[in-house]
Structures are given as C-alpha cells and as structure tokens.
Amino acid sequence: MRFEGFRAEHNVPTHREVILEYLRTHPAGTDDDQLSAVLGIRPRQRVNQIARQLESEALVLRRHDPRVGKIVNYARDAADSVAVEERLVAALPSVSRHPRRSAQSRVNLAPESTRRSDSQGTRRVALVSCVKTKLPHTAPARDLYTSPLFRKARAWAETHCDQWYILSALYGLVDPAAEIAPYELTLNAMDAQQRRAWVERVYLRMGEIGLLSGGVEFVWLAGRVYKADLARLLSAWPQEDPLQGMGIGSRMAWLSTTRPVERSRNSVALEG
C-alpha cells in the first residue's frame, strides 16, 4: 500500500494504469504472461489479479484463445467484443472439423448409459440450470438444489453424460462437487447487460477448465434464458437440447425415461 501511495504521490502510473494503457494500444490482445514479461510486473499472479479486477469493472474482456491455449486480455474500449468472439471461434480448427452428426444419430442422444462417449470419442457435457428451491445451508452444488426437476436432470446427466455442470445465476459455471451457499438470484431478474456479463463469466470459466476444445458436445438441460446467449457463443460446438419446447410436466416425464426419445431430433435449434 505504501508503494502504491508513493506511485500516486509522485505521478508514477500504477500497475493497473500501465496494464490498461498497454491493452488499449494492443487491441489484438495480450495474455497475462506477456503482460508480466513486457511490463516487468512481478509476480505474474499480480497481473492476473489486476486483469480480473479490470474485467469485473467491465474495462477488460478476458477470453480463452485456442491458438495459444491461454486466457487473453482485451481492452473493451479498444477491441470490438463481437469481432473478438468471431475471431476466437474461427481459430478452432479442431472443432470446426468435428463433423456434426446426422439427424438420425442425434435421435440416440445416449444410446447406452454404460457407454456415454460416442465412437468418435466425443465428450458429452451436460449443462443444468439452477432452480429456486434449495437447502437452507451450504452443501455440495449437486445436493443444494432440491426441486424434483433438478434432481431428475441431475440423475439423467450423471447417467447419460461424461460430465455435467450447473449454471448458477450467482456463481456462474459450478462443478457439482463444489460446496456453495444458498442464494436468491435468477437470470430472469437480470437486465440484458447483467445477463451478458454472466454469459461472459461462464464462457471464460469454460475455457479455464478445458471445455472449449475439440471433441466436446454440450447437452442442454437448462431453461431458455440460461441457454440463449451462451448457446450462440458455443455455436462452433455440437449441441443438443432434448427438452426444447417442453413444459415442466413433459420435461419431468422425459427425464424419467431410461432411454432418449425422438424428441432430440430437433434439439440443435437455438432459442432466442
């Protein structure tokens, strides 16, 4: 703190100011390691902390770049966020070459619970949206949500998918084993800007844990508002939405079945 005070008192730019100015003059994006090396800010974790803080203030966009395998930083007032997303999607040769399966094969969303990955080695990842009904205390995320619909979605995902994650309005992308506290928040209560920030946060986390790679297919067990914008960002990956257009009763019935049904034939259409 004394050092930062000295910098301010003597008109020396802070690390925060130096990083932001560098990103503004380098709109192509720079990762944390490069920023640390070029700007001489040590340790590298300090750069990461500052970049995350700038992101939380909507001054910096942080995105996983498959070309370098790292999170890259962009100054929002110097980079077109839409152009950034399009460029990163275009840089996914392994994904773009992944053949989309035919309508006939999409019908068999999970042909055998004991053999969840298809013959091409695709990793099927389910995305389950959070619900209002929760335990009154901290618990593993998979147990925190107690509605019958969530429990059926959890059971189906655990049986028919290789991995599954929870889309939480408060915590973002959550590992089912992570312990989290109950909360009262839903995407339905957020405005468009808040939802966009949530989508960016989830997408960034997906990159950090390796979901934005070739051979991944996403299965939506989520409500429309949780899916719409995120599904567009994931448009380079195969996606299934077996519950699309169903009411709660129909969803409950579908999730209770032990085998997928023809409903998944139209599941790749994006809502919005």
Beta-sheet strands, E only, within the chain: 30-31, 60-65, 70-75, 123-129, 139-140, 163-168, 172-174, 179-180, 216-221, 239-240
pLDDT (average), residues 155-173: 93
Of the pLDDT bands very low, low, confident and very high (cuts 50, 70, 90), residue 70 is: confident
pLDDT (average), residues 139-163: 94
Residues with Cβ within 8 Å of 35's Cβ and at least 6 positions away in sequence, in order, are 19, 22, 41, 47, 51, 73
**Structure token digits, residue 85:** 């997303």
pLDDT reported for residue 110: 29
Name the residue with tokens 């839903």. Answer: 186
Of the pLDDT bands very low, low, confident and very high (cuts 50, 70, 90), residue 214 is: confident
Of the pLDDT bands very low, low, confident and very high (cuts 50, 70, 90), residue 117 is: very low
Residues with Cβ within 8 Å of 75's Cβ and at least 6 positions away in sequence, in order, are 20, 23, 24, 27, 59, 60, 61
User: What letter does residue 54 receive in the DSSP assignment?
Assistant: H
pLDDT reported for residue 50: 94
Among 10-24, 107-121, 150-164, 246-260, the range with the most confident prediction by mean pLDDT is 150-164
pLDDT in tens, 225-246: 999 889 988 988 999 999 888 8
pLDDT reported for residue 76: 84
Of the pLDDT bands very low, low, confident and very high (cuts 50, 70, 90), residue 84 is: low
Name the residue with tokens 């370098």. Answer: 68
- What are the structural domain ranges in the chain? 2-88, 103-266
Among 1.10.10.60, 3.40.50.300, 1.10.10.10, 3.30.360.10, name the CATH number for the domain at 2-88. 1.10.10.10
Of 188, 186, 197, 127, residue with least CA distance to 162: 127
- Least reliable range by pLDDT among 68-72, 111-115, 129-133, 185-189: 111-115
- C-alpha–C-alpha distance, residues 63 and 240, integer Å: 24
Please give the model's pTM, rounded to 2 decimal places.
0.56
Angle between helices 15-24 and 32-39 (to 10 degrees): 110
Strands 163-168 and 172-174: antiparallel
pLDDT reported for residue 72: 87
Question: Are 16 and 50 spatial neighbours (Cβ–Cβ below 8 Å)?
Answer: yes
Share of the chain above pLDDT 70, in %: 74
**Structure token digits, residue 189:** 């209560």
Q: Is 80 exceeded by the pLDDT of residue 218? A: yes
* Mean pLDDT estimate for the chain: 78
